[in-house]
Copies of this chain bind each other. A is one copy, B any other.
Amino acid sequence: MRLNVLCACSAGGTDSHGLCEYMTAGIGIGATLTATGDRLSKNRDTSHSGGLLDRIPVIPVPSVDAASEVSPYQPGQVAVSRSTAVMKYGFPSLSNIKSRESYVTSYDPRNRTAAWVIEQLNAETVTGTSDRKFCDFKEDDSVHVYHRSSNVDYKGSGFDRGHLAAAANHKWSQKAMDDTFYLSNVSPQNPHLNQNAWNNLEKYCRSLTKHYQNVFVCTGPLYLPRQEPDGKMYVKYQVLGKNHVAVPTHFFKVVILEKPRGDVELRSYVMPNMPVDDKIPLERFLVPIESIERASGLLFVPNIMKRTSSLKAITAG
């Protein structure tokens, strides 16, 4: 059946998102309705006792342990059981998780882009004959049309369609490379950043596969506040096109590095979504992981600590 919508705004008309204009005009707010967000799960959040859902398993959050039991992780494995492998250090949130050939992601339907994307790289994934000339950016039709970005949103915006999971990380499989071209794996990115400093960071991640057994890379957008002249802190970011795709103020990359003997290193980077001089050494963009955890609403270290007693976070080279 059709939803019966009665609209009798006295001031008439609706904007492109159906918000009655009288509301924005009459109440003095020039905003149109679009874009929201919610977030993250942690085991202890959902295990809260009592309340309306008491004793009903609303979202039975599987632990990383449980998942690993399905198919125990083996160092060096790639295609056989990538599913388990990429989960080895858990996920930084448990919201709206989706699995693709090359990555696992959590989608942010308010901002029309991923909240994070995790990939596993090693010597095998970064080599192969896959070619991006066979790939096209495409809408993710697994996302509701209200919350999906389209190629049209980016057109003429001045922003690149910046991969979160990078295409060149997945030369091992044409399908895996193709999957990086879903627009849900893309954020509006400054073209200079995308093609220079950020590209260098991606190349650097791939180069790490020469020295480490496995390289887990988690990438995502940030929307950081800044102080304005009135002394107050504000988050401000542009939105693109009719779907109001959020333009992140910054991007993060958290890199979990596995040595053959099981030692784990952590490196976490943040770059602003603006031209960055690519002569600045990448180490200058290292930040404490706690900063990304606070800013993103995500958690990395608690998951990793369940998996190793030998974690070393490198925040400057």
Contact = CB atoms under 8 A, between A and B. Distances in A.
Interface of A: 1, 3-9, 14, 17-20, 22-23, 26-42, 44-46, 48, 50-62, 67, 70-71, 82-84, 86-87, 93-104, 106-111, 114-116, 142-144, 146-147, 179, 220-227, 232-240, 244, 246, 249-250, 270-272, 274, 276, 280, 284-299, 301, 305, 309, 311-317
Contact of A83 (B52, B96, B101): B52
B236 A236 contact: yes
Contacts of A286: 20
A249 B239 CA distance: 15
15 contacts: A1-B309, A3-B305, A4-B313, A17-B291, A20-B288, A27-B274, A28-B274, A30-B227, A39-B106, A42-B96, A50-B100, A56-B70, A56-B87, A58-B87, A146-B299
Nearest to A249: B31
Contacts of A3: 289, 301, 305, 311, 313
Given A52-B82, A295-B34, A96 B95 contact: yes
B107 A38 contact: yes
Contacts of A271: 27
A14 B236 CA distance: 22
A239 B233 contact: yes
Contacts of A234: 236-239
